[in-house]
């Protein structure tokens, strides 16, 4: 099996990407020391003074920090829960119809928003949720006063969850549709013979058949509780809603790159990525235990 | 496969409800986009007054005429095209990374070490700020390479390809080896043709990823002249982000040039819409293979 020529070929194939990984992944990792320094660009990493855990202590002291962590987790968890449910419901509904052309068409349409960027969709969303936009028009039919969604700390989070689910539910349903086709048709026939109606079949055959996939996807979503969706929030938020919508990632961007507090930004980023890794590794372990699936 | 339902009245009612719900889901995704197209073909007064639904009001091509002479838009458009082309060339690197990693450690002694390095790079990153500093030290700021090189090894795509290579029957490779073929040749002649669907999936992800990214340029490019299209579009709505007064937020919605912006968005989305139908069957199968691998 092994030949010297093959080994050399393999090493050569990997060489360029390893160089890229070293430059753009491994070298930046040393930049993490900035989190333990009072980094001053003019002095560089070598010249800046060490401050131990001061940046982390400072981070925990600022009143905003609790809010930012809470915002991140609340928004992310709601997105995961609602997104999963809507994707499953859509897949189940689509599974019930037999007109192939209609099925195709609907799939094509609902997958589409996932491929559009938030830079673009932000304009669409702001339009729809604007003071005189369609959503408020519909609300007025029911006698509800118009809401300034983009500036309301009561509504902004719900709007984020709603639009994020809207963008992703179709794409999220792909995996459920795939595992629906894998359910043994014999089970449905047996259920029919036993006199099960449509709803009973859904409850006793389809849902149990879907359970492993639901479990797996939910597990793999675990690390996403820290991922509240930078692109979406960054393109939609404004200082009026920082209180409910500022998340770790947007905070790191503003503090680190806009205000150039490199050390503080790096410290917050480091904390986030350490917790993130723990979550990814746990999800991988858990998924392996539950379903024999490995991410890597 | 198809559960056979008795055509009872109850079942008929259920069918109606199912169709209504599905239509609601589908229209919710379709209408906002149709509305955008309708706005782009309407006259500005009607659009500002929120009178446009899914058909243009007082149809006109004037925003598209204006857009044609907008040199910055087309400059940004071409930068995005260039970026996508470079991104596709970058797939060579992904393939060359994924192929050796797909081998067993028996066949390729270093496999485990490389694999661990790749996973480590996937899990842990220095973060935005240190990466920015490296790019700056390399004098890549303000060049298109700053948008390509830092992400030159997209690990998710590499893993997708790796799994596809692993699924190729070993017998194919062994037959070629007896004929004395080199690994380069085996990769090009045997493996690549077999994993075409996955290649198409990765190509789609690559195109969409590069075309849609606005953030890279925000960090690495300082001259707005050199912004790719999405960053250019993103800047159109950026004023909103600095507003601290609700009144102003409402005013801004009125004065902004709605029809021209809609036209810009429509044109910037068009390239994706054009490739989308061809790619759909691939990304569906690619994702399913990638995520529920046996």
pLDDT at B103: 94
- Report CB contact under 8 Å: B250, A280: no
Identify the domain containing residue A43 by its residue range: 1-52
Q: What is the phi/psi pair of residue A62, to 5°?
A: -65, 135
CB B200 within 8 A of CB A86: no
Q: Residue range B154-161: average pLDDT?
A: 91
The verdict on residue A296 lying in a domain is: no
User: Is the domain defined by B65-291 classed in CATH 1.10.3720.10?
Assistant: yes
Residues 6+ apart with CB under 8 A from A259: none
* pLDDT score, position A296: 60
Residue pLDDT, tens place only, B173-212: 888 888 888 999 999 999 999 998 889 889 988 999 999 9
Mean pLDDT of all residues in A17-23? 96
**Nearest-CA residue of chain A relative to B53?**
A134
Same domain, A124 and A220: yes
Determine, for residues B253 and A262 on separate chains, whether the beta-carbon distance falls below 8 Å: no
**Average pLDDT score over residue span A188-197:** 89
Indicate whether A153 and A130 sit together in one domain: yes
- Residue A80's CB is within 10 A of a number of other CB atoms, namely 20
- The answer to whether residue A173 scores a pLDDT higher than 50 is yes
A residues 104-133 lying closer than 8 A (beta carbon) to B:
105-106, 108-113, 115-117, 119-120, 122-124, 126-128, 130-133
Mean pLDDT of chain A: 89
Task: Pick B97's closest partner by Cβ from A14, A238, A270.
Answer: A14
Same domain for A183 and A123?
yes
- pLDDT tens digit sequence for A99-156: 989 998 999 999 999 999 999 999 889 888 888 888 888 899 998 888 888 888 999 9
Interface contact flag, B215 A231, Cβ < 8 Å = yes
Q: How many beta-carbon pairs below 8 A join chains A and B?
A: 276
Cβ contact, residue pair B126, A256, below 8 Å? no
Looking at residue B9, its pLDDT comes to: 80
Given A9, A37, A52, the domain boundary residue is: A52
User: pLDDT band at A258, cuts 50/70/90?
Assistant: confident
- Reported confidence tier of residue B1, pLDDT bands at 50, 70, 90: very low
Query: Which has more pLDDT, B252 or B292?
Result: B252
**For chain A, percent of residues with pLDDT exceeding 70:** 98
DSSP-based three-state secondary structure for A37: strand
B-chain residue closest to A191, CA distance: B3
CATH of the domain at A274: 1.10.3720.10
Q: What is the pLDDT of residue A2?
A: 56
Q: End-to-end distance of chain A based on CA atoms, in angstroms?
A: 25
Minimal Cβ distance to B108: which of A10, A128, A169: A10
Chain A residues touching B153 at Cβ < 8 A: 17, 20-21, 25
Domain limit, last residue, from A52, A67, A86: A52
Note whether residue A42 is domain-resident: yes
pLDDT of A12 strictly over 80: yes
Claim to verify: residue A134 and residue A268 sit in the same structural domain: yes
Q: Are residues A43 and A73 in the same domain?
A: no
Q: Is the same domain home to A197 and A220?
A: yes
Q: Say if the Cβ atoms of A151 and B261 lie within 8 Å.
A: no
pLDDT given at position A259: 87
pLDDT, average across residues B81-89: 96
Residues A47 and A102 in one domain: no
Q: Spell out the alpha helix ranges (H) of chain B.
A: 9-40, 44-48, 62-68, 71-89, 91-101, 111-123, 128-137, 155-166, 170-178, 183-186, 192-194, 196-212, 215-220, 229-236, 246-255, 258-291
pTM of the model: 0.87
CA-to-CA dists, residue A257 to A109, B155, B170, B184, angstroms:
38, 25, 49, 43
> Is the pLDDT higher at B128 or at A206?
A206
CB-based contact A72:A223 (threshold 8 Å) = no
**Distance (Å, rounded) from C-alpha A196 to C-alpha A192?**
5
Using alpha carbons, select from B174, B182, B155, B176 the residue that is nearest to residue B101.
B155
- pLDDT, residue B226, reads 93
Q: In the numeric block, which tokens belong to residue A168?
A: 């992703």
Same domain, A156 and A232: yes
The residues, ordered by sequence, that sit 6+ positions from A27 with a Cβ below 8 Å of its Cβ are B126, B134
Same domain? For A77 and A164 the reply is yes
Contact at CB, B122 and A231, closer than 8 angstroms: no
Every domain of chain B and the residues it spans: 1-60, 65-291
Helix (H, G, I), strand (E, B), or coil: what is residue B87? helix
What's residue A272's pLDDT?
87
Among chain A residues, CA nearest to B210 = A117
Give the model confidence (pLDDT) of B214-245 as tens digits.
999 999 999 989 999 999 999 887 666 666 66
**Total residue length of chain B:** 294
Is the per-residue pLDDT at A1 higher than 60? no
More confident residue, B93 or B277: B93
Please give the pLDDT value at position B293.
Answer: 40
In this structure, are A119 and A258 located in the same domain?
yes
Residue A227 lies in a domain: yes
Does residue A284 form part of some domain?
yes
- The band of B153, judged by pLDDT with boundaries at 50, 70 and 90, is very high
- The SS3 of residue A123 is helix
B-interface mutation test, from A45, A115, A166, A275, most B Cβ less than 10 A away: A115
Q: pLDDT digit string (tens) for B231-290?
A: 999 988 766 666 666 666 666 655 567 888 899 999 999 999 888 887 777 777 666 655
Query: How much helix, strand and coil, in percent to the nearest 5, is found in chain A?
Result: 80, 0, 20
Do A162 and A246 belong to one domain?
Answer: yes
Given a contact cutoff of 8 angstroms between Cβ atoms, the answer to whether A50 and A37 are in contact is yes
Crossing angle for the helix pair B9-40 and B258-291, nearest 10 degrees? 130
pLDDT at residue A13 above 90? yes
Chain B's closest residue to A214, CA to CA, is: B292
B278 touches chain A (CB under 8 A): no
Whose tokens are 């894998």? That residue is A182
**A186 has a chain B CB within 8 A of its CB:** no
Tokens of B156: 């998710």
Predicted complex ipTM exceeds 0.90: no
The number of domains in chain A is 2
């Amino acid at each position: 099996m092994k030949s010297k020529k093959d080994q050399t070929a393999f090493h050569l194939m990997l060489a360029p990407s390893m160089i890229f990984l070293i430059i753009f992944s491994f070298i930046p990792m040393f930049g993490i020391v900035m989190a333990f320094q009072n980094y001053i660009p003019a002095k560089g990493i070598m010249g800046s003074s060490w401050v131990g855990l001061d940046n982390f202590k400072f981070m925990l002291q600022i009143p905003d920090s609790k809010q930012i962590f809470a915002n991140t987790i609340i928004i992310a968890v709601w997105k995961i829960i609602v997104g999963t449910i809507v994707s499953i419901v859509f897949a189940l509904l689509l599974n019930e119809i037999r007109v192939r052309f209609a099925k195709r068409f609907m799939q094509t349409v609902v997958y589409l928003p996932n491929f559009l960027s938030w830079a673009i969709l932000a304009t669409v969303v702001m339009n729809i949720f604007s003071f005189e936009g369609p959503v408020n028009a519909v609300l007025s039919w029911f006698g509800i006063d118009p809401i300034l969604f983009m500036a309301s700390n009561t509504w902004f989070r719900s709007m984020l969850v709603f639009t994020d689910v809207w963008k992703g539910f179709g794409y999220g349903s792909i995996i459920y549709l795939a595992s629906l086709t894998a359910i043994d048709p014999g089970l449905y026939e047996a259920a029919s013979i036993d006199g099960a109606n449509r709803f009973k079949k859904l409850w006793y055959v389809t849902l149990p058949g879907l359970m492993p996939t639901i479990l797996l996807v939910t597990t793999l979503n675990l690390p996403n509780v820290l991922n509240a969706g930078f692109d979406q929030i960054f393109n939609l938020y404004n200082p009026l809603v920082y209180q409910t919508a500022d998340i770790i990632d947007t905070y790191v961007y503003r503090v680190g790159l806009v205000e150039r507090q490199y050390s503080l930004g790096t410290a917050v980023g480091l904390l986030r990525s350490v917790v993130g890794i723990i979550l990814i590794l746990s999800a991988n372990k858990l998924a392996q235990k539950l379903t024999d699936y490995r991410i890597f | 496969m198809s559960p056979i339902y008795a055509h009872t009245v109850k079942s008929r009612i259920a069918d109606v409800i199912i169709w209504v719900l599905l239509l609601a889901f589908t229209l919710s995704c379709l209408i906002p986009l149709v509305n955008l197209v309708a706005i782009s073909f309407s006259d500005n007064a009607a659009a500002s007054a929120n009178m446009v639904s899914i058909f243009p009001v007082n149809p006109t091509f004037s925003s598209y005429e204006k857009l044609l002479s907008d040199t910055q838009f087309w400059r940004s458009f071409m930068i995005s095209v260039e970026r996508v082309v470079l991104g596709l060339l970058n797939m060579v690197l992904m393939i060359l990374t994924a192929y050796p990693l797909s081998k067993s450690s028996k066949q390729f002694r270093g496999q485990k070490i490389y694999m661990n390095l790749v996973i480590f790079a996937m899990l842990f990153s220095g973060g935005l700020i240190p990466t920015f500093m490296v790019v700056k030290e390399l004098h890549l700021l303000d060049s298109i390479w700053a948008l390509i090189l830092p992400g030159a090894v997209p690990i998710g795509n590499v893993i997708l390809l790796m799994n596809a290579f692993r699924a190729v029957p070993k017998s194919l490779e062994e037959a070629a080896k007896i004929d004395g073929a080199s690994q380069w040749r085996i990769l090009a002649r045997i493996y690549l043709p077999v994993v075409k669907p996955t290649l198409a999936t990765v190509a789609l992800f690559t195109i969409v990823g590069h075309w849609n990214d606005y953030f890279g340029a925000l960090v690495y490019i300082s001259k707005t002249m050199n912004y790719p299209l999405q960053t250019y579009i993103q800047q159109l709505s950026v004023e909103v982000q600095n507003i601290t007064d609700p009144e102003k937020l409402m005013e801004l919605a009125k004065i902004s040039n709605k029809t021209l912006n809609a036209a810009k968005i429509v044109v910037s989305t068009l390239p994706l819409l054009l490739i989308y139908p061809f790619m759909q069957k691939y990304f569906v199968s690619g994702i399913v293979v990638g995520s529920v691998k046996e």
